[in-house]
Amino acid sequence: MLDWNSLYSNGLEYADFLERHGTPEHRRRWADLHAAIALTEPQRELLGRFTREMHVACLAGAWCGDCVYQCPILDHIAQACPRVKVRYWDRDAAPLVASELKVCGGSRVPIVVFLSEDLQEVSRYGDRTLARYRQMMEQMFGASCPTGLVLPSGEDLAAVVQDWFDEFERVQWLLRTSPRLRQLHGD
């Protein structure tokens, strides 16, 4: 089991992660997708009602098409809600983290670990959202790994944004109703 108390502070913020691990082409792809994302007003309003601090650890790869497609969504959520703090690790530069966060026996990215304010593990999510898997099933037998070269359609992107948003909301309510945290905060 990972010791997030010692690991979390070593994670990189979004821009620092891309600067350290991305090529100029990787950074361009991430920026293009970042610019295509817009949270809805109801999503922003709900994020504004979050009361529990949420730390989020994301194992990613700047080179990874799935990360291009999804990590900018995490940055938008973090920018819209000061209670959400996301840190990133490169899969290849953090083998200890990568070995603990395998999916279906493989090193997949992005993988997100949701942590409480005191860095207790709450939930894991990744490598793709349900909407993304549905999209892939529709395109089955095409490219096995998206490249991030072509931006997803607005409808497809909105569905993946909503999936990520729903998971952030689920974890926030899990934190909000946690007996341990309710006792700690007296609420």
pLDDT tens digits, 125-181? 989 998 888 887 777 655 545 555 555 667 889 999 999 999 999 999 999 999 999
The answer to whether the predicted template modeling score (pTM) of the entire model surpasses 0.85 is yes
Topology (CATH) of 4-185 = Glutaredoxin (3.40.30)
Question: How far apart are alpha carbons 101 and 112 in whole angstroms?
Answer: 9
- CB < 8 Å & 24+ apart, contacts of 173-176: 174/122, 174/123, 175/52, 175/54, 175/116, 175/117, 175/122, 176/51, 176/52
The ranges assigned to domains in the chain are 4-185
What is the tens place of the pLDDT at every residue in 42-63? Answer: 999 999 999 999 999 999 999 9
The model's pLDDT over 83-109, given as tens digits with 9 standing for 90+, comes to 999 999 999 999 999 999 999 899 999
